[in-house]
Amino acid sequence: SLGRPKRSFEPPAGTGSERGSSWRRSRRSASAGRPPCSSSPSRSEISWQCPRRCVRRASRSRYSARVRTSSSPTRVTGGLVLRLGRGYRWSARDGDRLTAGGAMPLPALAGVALAHGLAGLEFGVAIPASLGGAVRMNAGAHGGSLADVIESVDVFGLSDGSTRRVPADEAGLSYRRSALAPDGVVVGATVRLGAREPAEIRARMDEAREWRRRTQPLAEPNCGSVFKNPHGDHAARLIEEAGGKGRRVGAASVSTKHANFIVASEGATASDVLTLVREVQDLVEERSGFLLEPEVHLLGDLDLASR
């Protein structure tokens, strides 16, 4: 767990074992293990020798951003799963800018913007993501995304323990992706917003919440949108057209409310979900010629691109 920093984004003082995130409520086991050494609790002498050894000992490392686009196979072995601690959950205002830690929930940050009469984050009020995960995936909805408002990103390098401020143009945010280094953890970001009447901002937020409540299976365990939308079309429409809506593998099923969501019912495993994802890809490709690109990221040895 990346512990508790101050707002300067200094490296946290220790690491520890954390259970990794997986497809919501699907059964899995992750082997993060205990760190091979103890780190000093002193804030004045922060040493990253222990975390570096942890990372070197693992065959790979991943950090868990709180965004519903991550899943792990039924068993994950040989890696570290890191998660930003509560010390990264904060925000501060400077004029029309908001700076926040990577663990700050995107809906909460949208609420902070509303409180200050700042517009531009209304799209994020119903996206269940941390700011760090939202930046890495360039989360968006309702015609807006982080790319529209991001000014800079603070990235912690797992390989050397350094923190670097990356300007927006270098971060390379585009549709559901970024150009940030794979071994970089988004520990904070700054967005630049615009002044607007709070009543207008609130109305747009209420509209976004209602649309999601009406169209998506929010009350059921899922990881959000499974596939990216092909240019000029929608993955949900293609899946429904191919007959994938309601399709089931084990206890995992394509939602009957929104075809680009897979619901993990009681007893579902990540293997059920993965098999279903591949079956849907095959259905759509056979019906329309589109090979749907997954929006979900897998943790472990499996690769959705390998079919």
Q: Which of 22, 26, 145, 295 is catalytic?
A: 295
**Exposure class string for 14-43: b at 16+ Cβ within 10 A, else e:** bbeebebbbbbebbbebebeebeeebeeee
Is 43 designated active site?
Answer: no
Establish whether 176 is a catalytic residue. yes
Q: How far apart are CA 12 and CA 1, in angstroms?
A: 9
Catalytic residue among 21, 176, 253, 255: 176
Residue 117 has phi, psi (to 5 degrees) of 65, 35
Per the residue annotation, which of 225, 253, 255, 271 is the catalytic one?
A: 225
**167: which strand partners?**
152
Our CA angle for 235, 240, 246, nearest 5°, is 115
CB environment 183-200: b (16+ within 10 A), e (fewer): bbbbbbbbbbbeebeeee
Closest residue by Cα to residue 54 from 27, 84, 19, 78: 78
Six token digits for residue 256: 């009957």
Nearest 5°: CA angle at 45, between 39 and 46?
A: 50
Instruction: Confirm whether 271 is a catalytic residue.
Output: no
Residues with a catalytic annotation lie at 176, 225, 295
